Amino acid sequence: MIIAAADGSALGNPGPAGWAWYVDDERWAAGGWKHSTNNVGELTAVLELFRATAHLDDELLVQCDSQYVINSVTKWMPGWKRKGWRKADGKPVMNVEILKELDAELVGRRYRFEWVKGHVGHPMNEAADERARAAAEAFKSGRPVPSGPGWSDGGERVASGPEIDEAVDEIDDTADDAVSDADEVPATLFDLDEAPDAWQTLTVELSTEEHERLVQRARAEGVSPEEFLRGLI
């Protein structure tokens, strides 16, 4: 069984916000937004935990201090789905897009939730809370967000918030290395005299860490990794 804690934090609620899941010091992840709510952070932490462990067959025990998240998943979601993602009073369910994504991730998974009281010194909950708050603080101050090693990486990854300079530098370095290693270096990468609708194929090799960072930033922008990468180029 995998035991993990998931938590969210919003400064001002709404305000700069973060999410985090935590298993141990070698397996955790965090992220956030410039402006969101605590409930979004809590839901996203659980969603990202299920995504990070999707390749595993272990039962997942999620420790969570949010009754809203636990009830949403274990009690309310089936009824919301039957009503077309509407509540008993007919009003639309809040945070429905995240809930739909979470619902899809739950299919075929073995899991259960455990409510823990927050801010009373529970080690796992405190670890997740500290990381979620650190992400929110980073977005508030414009500093790089400590995003954690994820499930399998060895070291901590640092992903910037709104800035993409680091991602551009990494992609540029990777492209430069690929060109320098080639047997024949073309005079130009693209022929600017081609028709405007012409397409070119560019292959960029990324490490696992770089790819995960690209995916996180694409999610933050609400686009696919391919679209995000194309925008950088």
Cα separation of 159 and 144, whole Å?
6
User: Which residue in the list 7, 48, 170, 212 is annotated as catalytic?
Assistant: 7
- Residue 176 known to be catalytic: no
Query: pLDDT tens digit string along 88-145?
Result: 999 999 999 999 999 999 999 999 999 999 989 999 999 999 999 999 999 999 999 9
- Residue 119 known to be catalytic: yes
- Residue 42 known to be catalytic: yes
Q: What is the pLDDT of residue 141?
A: 97
Cα separation of 24 and 27, whole Å?
5
Q: Which residues contact residue 94 at a Cβ distance below 8 angstroms, ignoring those fewer than 6 apart?
A: 39
Largest CA distance in the chain: 67
Token pair listed for 160 = 């910037």
- Residue 8 known to be catalytic: yes
Q: Dump strand ranges (E) for the chain.
A: 2-10, 15-24, 27-36, 60-64, 111-115, 145-148, 157-159
Domain with CATH 3.30.420.10 in the chain: 2-143
Q: Which residues contact residue 118 at a Cβ distance below 8 angstroms, ignoring those fewer than 6 apart?
A: 7, 65, 125, 129
User: Which residue in the list 65, 103, 105, 170 is annotated as catalytic?
Assistant: 65
- Residue 65 known to be catalytic: yes
Token pair listed for 217 = 């930033």
Residues above pLDDT 90, as percent of the chain: 64
User: Which residue in the list 42, 48, 170, 212 is annotated as catalytic?
Assistant: 42
Cα separation of 10 and 41, whole Å?
7
Cα separation of 123 and 120, whole Å?
9
User: Which residues of the chain fall short of a pLDDT of 50?
Assistant: 153-200
User: Which residue in the list 48, 103, 105, 129 is annotated as catalytic?
Assistant: 129
- Cα 85–Cα 100–Cα 44 angle in degrees, nearest 5: 125
Task: Specify the amino acid at residue 25.
Answer: D
Cα separation of 205 and 180, whole Å?
14
Looking at domain 2-143, what is its CATH homologous superfamily?
Ribonuclease H-like superfamily/Ribonuclease H (3.30.420.10)
User: Which residue in the list 57, 119, 181, 193 is annotated as catalytic?
Assistant: 119
